[in-house]
């Protein structure tokens, strides 16, 4: 495997592999860019089929964090880490402590937060050996409830705001009563998104690889259970993928029946050209790194003097950002994902230019 010629490498600043035979830890840390600030991104634990799949995932996720932070106007770079293994059967305190030691060895270039397969308690275990973890401080959330640092509620709220913006743009409606939404993945984020949608009057279909998650949504939210084979292809208004990425691909696009794609999963498109394929089919795609930025916004404010209302206001800007992306796409004919990339790069270049003019980059 040649890393530098890997199709997802994209000039990453750093890629490290860590193995601890005693605990079974096999981990990869990718740092895409630190021009705006330290690389902040989740630590994912997943039972990848092979090492190549793990490398591809961490590179794509890391780059996405660079663009996500820039698009959300945060002074952060982009990074991500993955632990190869089943979080339900292979996770241990010793393994997490070993991960913390590896994070500490990177000297603050990368700061880890919660992601799929990890939790706030897991990050606290890592924190026994490193100060470079985030999303672990208890504080009052924007909903007035005590938060343990878990960014999932804010990610879900931001996704809900973005979904509403997409529905308003594509379907011309602000009222979600009767809106049909299929949610793929009802874990920490997907279930909370489903709750917001239920409160707004939407009708829900759900699927999750973990049967108990799906049953909870059925029992508590009145959702309809769907199969893994059907969830993306139901005749609904919106599909909201909230699990793993790359589900929008050559195999799925021809069979989609929804007119809006707006979900919290990272890297929904298997390839960049699928952006155009969706536009050709008349499907509005809310770029994932724009719509799911609520979590990184929440973590960014950790330890600051910002009020819960400040955090809420910043998260609600996701709707305005998406509205700008949709409008630019309509006027230019360029698909929304490409527009989002360009907008993030505009903000990235502007940030660096301002730093240069202020003398921060002068030798």
Cβ contact 339:332 at 8 Å: yes
Cα distance between residue 236 and residue 258, in whole Å: 5
Contact 28, 55 (CB under 8 A): yes
Strand bridging mode 180-184 / 146-147: unpaired
Return the DSSP state at 142. Answer: T
In three-state secondary structure terms, 65 is helix
In contact, 192 and 153? CB cutoff 8 Å: yes
What residues does 43 pair with on adjacent strands? 81
11 is in an annotated binding site: no
d(CA 32, CA 199): 38
Question: Among 80, 91, 164, 170, which one carries the catalytic annotation?
Answer: 80
> Is 275 in a helix, a strand, or coil?
helix
How far is it, in rounded angstroms, from Cα 105 to Cα 90? 23
Beta bridge partners of 41: 112
d(CA 110, CA 31): 7
Does 188 show up as a binding residue in the annotation? yes
HSE on the CB side for 68, CA within 13 Å? 34
Active site residue 80: yes
190 marked ligand binding residue: yes
The answer to whether 187 is a known ligand-binding residue is yes
Residues ≥6 apart with Cβ < 8 Å to 334: 328, 342
Contacts of 63 (CB under 8 A, 6+ apart): 8, 10, 12, 32, 78
Is residue 263 a known part of a binding site? no
- Cβ of 345: how many Cβ atoms within 10 Å? 14
Q: Annotated binding site, which residues?
A: 185-190
Indicate which residues carry an active-site annotation: 80
Binding site feature residues for NAD(+): 185-190
């Amino acid at each position: 495997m040649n890393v530098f010629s890997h199709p997802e490498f994209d000039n990453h600043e750093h890629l490290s592999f860590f193995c601890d035979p005693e605990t079974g830890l096999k981990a990869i840390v990718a740092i895409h860019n630190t021009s705006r600030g330290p690389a902040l991104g989740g630590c994912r634990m997943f039972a990848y089929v092979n090492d190549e799949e793990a490398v591809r995932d961490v590179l794509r996720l890391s780059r996405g964090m660079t663009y996500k932070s820039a698009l959300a106007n945060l002074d952060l770079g982009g990074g991500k880490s993955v632990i190869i293994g089943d979080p339900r059967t292979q996770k241990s305190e010793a393994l997490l402590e070993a991960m913390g030691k590896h994070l500490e060895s990177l000297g603050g270039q990368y700061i880890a937060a919660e992601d799929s397969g990890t939790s706030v308690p897991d990050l606290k275990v890592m924190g026994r050996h490193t100060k470079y973890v985030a999303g672990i401080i208890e504080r009052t959330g924007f909903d007035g409830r005590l938060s343990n640092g878990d960014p999932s509620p804010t990610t879900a709220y931001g996704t809900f705001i973005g979904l509403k913006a997409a529905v308003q743009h594509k379907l011309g409606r602000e009222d979600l009563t009767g809106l049909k939404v299929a949610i793929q993945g009802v874990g920490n984020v997907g279930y909370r998104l489903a709750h917001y949608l239920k409160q707004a009057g939407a009708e829900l279909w759900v699927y999750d690889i973990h049967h108990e998650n799906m049953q909870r949504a059925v029992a508590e939210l009145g959702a309809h259970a769907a199969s893994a084979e059907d969830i993306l292809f139901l005749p609904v208004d919106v599909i909201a993928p909230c699990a793993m990425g790359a589900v929008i691909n050559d195999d799925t696009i021809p069979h989609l029946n929804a007119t809006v794609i707006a979900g919290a999963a990272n890297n929904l498109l298997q390839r960049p050209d699928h952006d155009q394929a969706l536009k050709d089919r008349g499907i509005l795609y809310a770029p994932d790194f724009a719509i799911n930025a609520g979590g990184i916004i929440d973590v960014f404010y950790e330890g600051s003097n910002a009020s819960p209302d400040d955090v809420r206001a910043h998260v609600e800007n996701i709707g305005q950002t998406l509205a700008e992306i949709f409008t630019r796409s309509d006027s230019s004919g360029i698909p929304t994902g490409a527009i989002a990339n360009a907008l993030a790069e505009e903000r990235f270049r502007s940030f660096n230019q301002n730093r240069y003019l202020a003398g921060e980059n002068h030798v």
